[in-house]
Structure 1
Amino acid sequence: MPPKFGTSGLRGLVTDLSDDLVHGYVRAFIAACPHGGAVHVGRDLRDSSPRIAATVIAAVRGAGLRAVDCGAVPTPALAMAAMARGHAAVMVTGSHIPADRNGLKFYLPSGEIAKPDETAILAARDAGGAPDAPQGAFERDEACAARYVARYAEAFGPRALAGLRIGVFEHSSVARDTLAEVIAALGGDVVRIARSDRFIPVDTEAVDPDMRAALAGWAAAHRLDAIVSTDGDADRPMVTDAHGAMIPGDLLGPLTARHLGARVVVTPVSSNTLVEAMEGFALRRTRIGSPFVIAGMEAALQEDARARVIGYEANGGFLLGFAAQGPEGKIAPLMTRDAVLPIVAPLAAARAKGVGLAELAARLPPRFTAADRLQGVASERSMALIDALRADPQARAAFFDTGSAETGIDETDGLRVSFADGAVVHLRPSGNAPECRLYTEADSAGRAQDLLARHLERLAARLSAA
């Protein structure tokens, strides 16, 4: 299928992301959106990313703007650098999708693009985009990643993780060196694991059984207190406890929020409902996707400019909307998905309390989630099934297999069905890949996983027959 564009950016097969196509979208972005006179450009570690980044830089300079090459850096580090100077940014990444695909993420001087920006970019592309102009300047920002490390080193201090032995699953994450530097700066003992020269698509929301087994094996073999990693461009965290068991992103979010003293929490409808049972939070639910979370955070800040507001997604990406206080210093707001803060803060909180991550997570209200996706399914097919289930209670009764009566449906994003025994099953088409996403929630981890396996099988049967 052809490349797809939305608020998550441009995504498509590398073979379809021609120089002309990339050039056209970059010029449309420049024509439609504020940029502050410059565009910062970063990239992940895919083989195709250097070529695409060079095309982005050429398109920026050809429009008469300054291009700032930040090299291979985490997406939040790029966004932080560009926003600090009042500039736009383009990240070349396909995030967690396979290596034969890639894409672009666009950032305004104020942060991620929103739905109106998406519409404006498409209109500008149809109109031909920004015209050629005398060639703009070029510079390299060699310190982009170092400033990102300093953000956490200065806020948490050199003893925040002292005594902890932490594995960094390096794979092909663009943050693998940056993450190790952060942990070392905070006093942790870093053990580097499984560095890869080829790109490995790691989806932190859908870690397969083989990977889970490998994580458990590494944790035991290296006597680790935790294993940490990110997806390809480092805006989604991966964290395990001392046994190599995954700590889901929608647990990392509440743990981080509590450690930072947040009071307003904005999170999509798919996130674990345990946050609703936690004291001290005013909760706002949104559709799935960081633009919706950001809109919810901005609404809270419009109501109260001093609101201690944060956002997080079920994938663990964390957005900070206020100047939080770390053990050693302030943490400036960063309203784009970040993977490092929801790694560092729960680890620091666990160490401060003298417990492991597993025990810290076990102190949260007992609700458990699981998630996976059916790949290679066009969004239209997923949506047709969801529409059919939404419209027909009998069809839902036949499809959903929980052993309990339906008590309600939520159509905020896809179809989220609740049952009398507390189980939840949620279906939605992915917004940036040919996948149908499946989320489950229950009162035990085993029950959530069972619901996931059972409904993934049913989903495959229905969509394969469609």
Structure 2
Amino acid sequence: MSSLKFGTSGLRGLVVDLVGGPSFAYAQAFFHAIAAGHPGERTVVIGRDLRASSPEIAATVAEAAAASGFAAVDCGALPTPALALEAMRRGACAVMVTGSHIPEDRNGLKFYRAEGEITKADESAILAALKAVAETGGPSAASPATQEQGAIERYRQRYRDAFPADALAGLRIAVYQQSSVARDLLSDLLAAFGAEAMAIGRSETFVPIDTEAHRPEDIAFIREVMASGAYDALVTTDGDADRPLMADGAGRIVRGDILGLITSRHLGIDTVVVPVTAGSALERTGGFRRVVRTKVGSPFVIAGMEAARADGAAPVAGFEANGGFLLGSDVVVGHGPLAALPTRDAMLPILATLAAMRASGGTLAELVTSLDAGEMASDRLPNTPSDLSGAFLARLDDAAFRADFLRALGTPQAVDRQDGVRIELDGGRTIHFRASGNAPELRCYAEAPSADAAQELVRWGLAAARDAMGGRSGA
């Protein structure tokens, strides 16, 4: 059985299941179901991350484009938001070859219309078209693609035109380069805004940086680097640079939703759209006119931004717990205009958070503390089939079972059922269970006034969930 599956952001699976015929078929299904029906130039821009398998898969996507009557433009290795920006500029569709933060034995495809990411309805249309194109055969002779070197430079200039040249003057920033496709770009931009950017940890093999579920070795490395006291902050991104990771001067990683909160305030955002996994500080201390919550996944955040704009909200932005920031409206950043880019981006929250820190005159830790955002934690039960997690979530949706299940924690105050079951408790606590969209996992998220309390909530939640499912998960 193939491992290929659409998750919260694009198609992903094992490299052995994606290379060759499968990537050709999925790309061709995209062209037939989505891009062929879009008015305008029949062009696709193609990008990739730095995984060893990405160049071969990108070449196959170009072959599928030619077979579908599309002109392929190879933008090379560049951040996903840079490719999306180029697609918008050209009025073209786009395919990004990336597995984001997952291990190197896996990879994926992210599909874009000219106006931005595909929707969940588009995913269904691609799957429907897949059956029809699967019988047309796989890749044949290589089809030439036009080379485009300017896309990443236009993305760089986007920020140089908006932020003041001295926005980061005097800051000392460690740039954890690892295998991020934006590693050189990030260092260059920080230096362009006046920061002293020190590149560290460059890797020629792929490093699966997850900006939400941090690996112990990444936490240890960041703390070791920052223990020297030489830097004001550390920054990096996931593999395709649509999710940021930042740590303060003591090596403490700042939550992605806090980066989104700081960025939104710095940009003067009126309405923010976030998934249910973002912290409740947005409503409590965010200062926004409106906070809209959605299911987990950028397509849902984008739909929420579109609905907010239709209701007259402006400016609008969205962000996720992983830190990816989606700018839904044009804004002005001190120095100049910054056009909307409604796809996850790592560069904007990194630059805006550092600029906000410098403008505050304090440290990143002091800026975060001033938000009174509480603490969050999360973990998962692996090897939990969807039928098992689904049955548990259905029981948890029942008020009587929920009250009994949570008796040790207190009385439920409110329930959000948009994506799994998120339960508010007393004392500023929440506990949230949802099934993963990418893997057979049950995930648990918790919020509490202290880090220890949040971690304890997650530990309790996973153990209680395992017991409620008869101990048949997490092996």
Which TM-score bucket, shorter chain as reference? over 0.9
Residue 232 (str. 1) matches residue 239 (str. 2): yes
Cα distance change, pair 198–459 in 1 and its aligned pair in 2 (3 A):
farther
Residue 412 (str. 1) matches residue 413 (str. 2): no
1:449 match? 455
Residue 5 (str. 1) matches residue 6 (str. 2): yes
Contact 2:229 2:249 in 1 (8 A): no
2:96 match? 91
Cα distance change, pair 433–454 in 1 and its aligned pair in 2 (3 A):
same
How many Å apart are 1:423 and its aligned residue? 1.3
Contact 1:65 1:136 in 2 (8 A): no
The answer for unaligned runs of 5 or more in structure 2 is: none
How many Å apart are 1:158 and its aligned residue? 2.0
2:148 match? 141
Q: Which amino acid aligns with 1:144?
A: A
In structure 2, what is the Cα distance between the partners aligned to 1:126 and 1:269? 34
Which 10-residue stretch deviates more, 382-391 or 247-256? 382-391
Q: Which amino acid aligns with 1:265?
A: V
1:365 match? 372
Residue 116 (str. 1) matches residue 108 (str. 2): no
In structure 1, what is the Cα distance between the partners aligned to 2:88 and 2:430? 39
2:112 match? 107
Cα distance change, pair 414–174 in 1 and its aligned pair in 2 (3 A):
same
Alignment of 1:130-279 (within 5 A): 138-221=145-228, 223-277=230-284, 278-279=286-287
In structure 2, what is the Cα distance between the partners aligned to 1:143 and 1:314? 31
Which 10-residue stretch deviates more, 49-58 or 202-211? 202-211
In structure 1, what is the Cα distance between the partners aligned to 2:18 and 2:452? 42
Q: Which amino acid aligns with 1:22?
A: S
- 1:175-201, CA deviations, whole angstroms, 9 ceiling, x for partnerless residues? 111111111111111111211121121
In structure 2, what is the Cα distance between the partners aligned to 1:75 and 1:372? 27
Cα distance change, pair 87–130 in 1 and its aligned pair in 2 (3 A):
farther
- SS in structure 2 of the partner of residue 29 of structure 1: helix
How many Å apart are 1:459 and its aligned residue? 4.9
How many Å apart are 1:129 and its aligned residue? 7.2
Cα distance change, pair 6–240 in 1 and its aligned pair in 2 (3 A):
closer
In structure 2, what is the Cα distance between the partners aligned to 1:142 and 1:130? 35
Q: Which amino acid aligns with 1:166?
A: I
How many Å apart are 1:410 and its aligned residue? 1.6
Of the three residues 33, 40, 47, the one matched with 1:42 is 47
1:337 match? 344
Cα distance change, pair 396–191 in 1 and its aligned pair in 2 (3 A):
farther
2:430 match? 424
- 1:251-277, CA deviations, whole angstroms, 9 ceiling, x for partnerless residues? 111111110011011111111110102
Q: Which amino acid aligns with 1:271?
A: A
In structure 2, what is the Cα distance between the partners aligned to 1:439 and 1:239? 20
Alignment of 1:308-327 (within 5 A): 308-327=315-334
Which 10-residue stretch deviates more, 15-24 or 72-81? 15-24
In structure 1, what is the Cα distance between the partners aligned to 2:224 and 2:456? 23
Contact 1:30 1:130 in 2 (8 A): no
How many Å apart are 1:450 and its aligned residue? 2.4
- SS in structure 2 of the partner of residue 441 of structure 1: strand
How many Å apart are 1:463 and its aligned residue? 7.9
Alignment of 1:13-24 (within 5 A): 13-24=14-25
Cα distance change, pair 102–463 in 1 and its aligned pair in 2 (3 A):
farther
How many Å apart are 1:139 and its aligned residue? 0.9
How many Å apart are 1:90 and its aligned residue? 0.5
Q: Which amino acid aligns with 1:438?
A: C
In structure 1, what is the Cα distance between the partners aligned to 2:126 and 2:51? 25
In structure 1, what is the Cα distance between the partners aligned to 2:168 and 2:250? 18
Which 10-residue stretch deviates more, 332-341 or 91-100? 91-100
- 1:19-53, CA deviations, whole angstroms, 9 ceiling, x for partnerless residues? 11111111111111135311111111111111111
In structure 1, what is the Cα distance between the partners aligned to 2:348 and 2:407? 37
Residue 56 (str. 1) matches residue 61 (str. 2): yes
Residue 283 (str. 1) matches residue 291 (str. 2): yes
How many Å apart are 1:464 and its aligned residue? 5.6
How many Å apart are 1:286 and its aligned residue? 1.0
Cα distance change, pair 366–24 in 1 and its aligned pair in 2 (3 A):
closer
In structure 1, what is the Cα distance between the partners aligned to 2:17 and 2:186? 32
Of the three residues 274, 281, 300, the one matched with 1:292 is 300
In structure 1, what is the Cα distance between the partners aligned to 2:206 and 2:119? 29
- 1:46-74, CA deviations, whole angstroms, 9 ceiling, x for partnerless residues? 11111111111111122221101111111
Contact 2:8 2:296 in 1 (8 A): no
Of the three residues 438, 443, 447, the one matched with 2:444 is 438
1:75 match? 80
In structure 2, what is the Cα distance between the partners aligned to 1:442 and 1:6? 28
Q: Which amino acid aligns with 1:41?
A: I
TM-score scaled by structure 2?
A: 0.92
How many Å apart are 1:344 and its aligned residue? 0.8
Of the three residues 310, 313, 321, the one matched with 1:302 is 310
1:354 match? 361
Contact 1:6 1:118 in 2 (8 A): no
In structure 2, what is the Cα distance between the partners aligned to 1:271 and 1:356? 23
- 1:123-164, CA deviations, whole angstroms, 9 ceiling, x for partnerless residues? 211222797999976211112222211111221132111111
Q: Which amino acid aligns with 1:40?
A: V
Cα distance change, pair 147–276 in 1 and its aligned pair in 2 (3 A):
same
- SS in structure 1 of the partner of residue 91 of structure 2: coil
